[in-house]
Amino acid sequence: MFLLPDYRVRQRDYLLDISRALTAQLDLGEVLRLILQAATSMLSGEVGIIALREGDGFHVRAITGTQPDQANLFDPLLEDLRPDADDIDVAQLYSKMRKVAREVDLNLRQVVALPMVVADDMLGILFTFRSYAGAPTENDHRLLQSFADQAAIAVHNARMYEFANQERQRLAAILDYSADGVMILDAHLHIERWNRALSHITGWQPDQVTGRHHDIVIRWARRATGLNLSEAINNGWPRPVSTDTLPETLYIEGDLERLDGTTISVGITYAPLRKPDGALQNIIANVRDITRFREAEELKSTFISVVSHELKTPVALIKGYADTLNRPDANWNRETIIEGLTVIEEEADRLTELIENLLAASKLQAEGMRLTVDDANLPLIAQQAIDRFQTQTEKHTLRAEFPPDFPVICGDTTRLRQVIDNLLSNAIKYSPRGGEVIIRGTYGDAWVQVAISDQGIGLPPDELGRVFERFYRVDSALTSNTQGTGLGLYLAHAVITAHGGKIWANNNPDGGATFSFTLPRRD
């Protein structure tokens, strides 16, 4: 029977232990200590150190045979060592060793130093010191090299692991802090990852969805595009890897049901992630909140329809009257001419108002409301508005009721005039059978209030708040026959809030609507 020499058996046992440790634990310090102890013991060494290359220099990372706090006393050995040094200068090493030996007060007389190399990359040096003189043998070198190689592999693995770990953390952070919702599904459509933005969009927290099937969580209240994910998969998405270059992503858009039962407009892009053999490994889904985009789209189409509808009528009237008055064969009397010109003038005024409202609304959106604040005399503004509007109607009686000591406030007179004009014109427009329209002023210590009430059609109770929205018009026979853009109250709301006040609407018990606003008094 072939027997290994004793030291070979020990070396084999040690190497076995080390490789077990290498696979079992990822604590680099522990593994290096184990390797160093084995190497030193195999060589009957006194002290062993492993120095690792970090940046431009070497630093002791494991030590055996002496106190760990003596590690820095070995630093002189590492000075001047260059990572690319092919061979370590033995004479210099010995002279440094003697110096260190004096410092650490140990009998170190022989040193073996071997580089730890993986793929031409020198990761560190393993040193073993003995207490007897004489040169180490070839065998010593070979023995130590096997341990140095193990140490190199351990360091290499640990660095790879650390790198992979850092990458994983970096990716997790990117995922978590992405402004878009991101979820990762396994090949069976179970949710593996769910980021913060997606919790925000859907109301579902990661621990509520992890492991659940995609279709339980992603439920469409309304879908604007294509099939849902499961249907698409049943229809062959994603196609097996092929040579064509068409993108394999799947896009689904619509209103998603949130956890609390509300809905949100989203667009989801699903992208398959494949294994090297082409099998589906994961599906990465990017979920984007497209509410604002959808709102903008809706607003754009409302804008176009409102503008085209509201422009058509006055333009047609102006054109009609101008054509008639202009007929070369007709000889109009003065009364007819005045009547025609009055209509043209009124319609042109309406057009101007419409254009001004549109411009004001778009300016408001772009730069917010800017006020030019000065003394504002609300009773005077109200009376002037009444005088102007009373000439336009006989069916209505317009009246202002302000206490004589109603305070002058701080405000933008031009804008407040627009608000009162608008509320007054609405009160007339939406009370087609006429009646009283009253502008009433009251005040307290800190505020003033103006209320404009009419005896008209009033408002559906659930739309009292909505009439202040941009382009919002109550859907009724009267409204559809009355000119308007749904911008007046939106602008009035903007002016009053810019002044720090509030505006609201309610219905009167005996019919008609009252629009009221408060404004802060100046100190």
Q: Name which of 65 and 486 has its Cβ closer to ligand ADP.
A: 486
Q: Are 403 and 442 in contact (CB under 8 A)?
A: yes
Is-contact 396 358, C-beta < 8 A? no
Evaluate whether 513 touches 405 at the Cβ level (below 8 Å).
no
- The residue among 384 and 476 lying less far from ligand ADP, judged by its C-beta, is 476
Of 284, 292, 192, 189, the residue nearest 231 (C-alpha): 189
Instruction: Please report the DSSP string for 385-410 in residue order.
Output: HHHHHHTT-SSEEEEEE--TTPPPEE
- Segments in 43-181 forming alpha helices (H): 75-78, 90-104, 138-177
Smallest separation, CB 488 to ligand ADP (Å): 3
Q: Tell me phi and psi for residue 520, to 5 degrees.
A: -70, 145
Does an H or E element contain 52, and which? strand 47-54
**220 phi and psi, to 5 degrees?**
-90, 125
Nearer to ligand ADP, 45 or 486 (CB): 486
Residue number, 21 or 491, with CB nearest to ligand ADP: 491
Q: To the nearest whole angstrom, how small is the minimum distance from the Cβ of residue 292 to ligand ADP?
A: 22
Please tell me the distance from the alpha carbon of residue 406 to that of residue 518, in angstroms, as a whole number: 13
> DSSP assignment of 283-325, as one string?
EEEEEEE-HHHHHHHHHHHHHHHHHHHHHHHHHHHHHHHHHHH
d(CA 301, CA 307) in angstroms, rounded, equals 10
CB of 296 to ligand ADP, least distance (A): 20
Nearer to ligand ADP, 157 or 479 (CB): 479
- The residue with tokens 């609201």 is 504
Closer Cβ to ligand ADP, 104 or 459, answer by number: 459
Report in angstroms how near the CB of residue 480 gets to ligand ADP at its nearest.
9
* Structure letter (DSSP) for residue 71: G
Nearer to ligand ADP, 414 or 482 (CB): 482
**Amino acid found at 459:** L
The distance of closest approach from Cβ of residue 341 to ligand ADP in the complex, given in angstroms and rounded to an integer, is: 25
Angle at 94 between CA 92 and CA 98, to 5 degrees: 120
Whether the CB-CB separation of 264 and 288 falls below 8 Å is answered with no
- As a dihedral over the C-alpha atoms of residue 352, residue 357, residue 358, residue 364, rounded to 10 degrees, the angle is 140
Distance of closest approach, residue 508 Cβ to ligand ADP, in angstroms? 10
Amino acid residing at 521: R
Minimum CB separation of residue 306 from ligand ADP in Å reads 9
CB of 484 to ligand ADP, least distance (A): 2
Shortest Cβ contact with ligand ADP: which residue? 484
- CB closer to ligand ADP out of 153 and 513: 513
Q: How far is CA 249 from the centre of its chain?
A: 22
Q: By C-beta, is 228 or 426 nearer to ligand ADP? A: 426
- Closer CB to ligand ADP, residue 283 or residue 491? 491
Minimum distance from residue 318 beta carbon to ligand ADP (Å): 20
- Whole-number minimum distance, CB 407 to ligand ADP, in Å? 26
Q: How far is the CB of 492 from ligand ADP (least distance, A)?
A: 7
Q: Are 500 and 417 in contact (CB under 8 A)?
A: no
Side chain identity at 269, as an amino acid letter? T
Could you list the residues that contact ligand ADP (CB under 6 A)? Answer: 422, 426-427, 430, 454, 456-459, 467, 472-474, 479, 484-490, 513
Tokens of 307: 């503008």
Phi, psi of 372 (to 5 degrees): -110, 100
Give the E-state strand segments of 202-262 in sequence order. Answer: 220-223, 250-257
Q: Which is nearer to ligand ADP, 91 or 477 (CB)?
A: 477
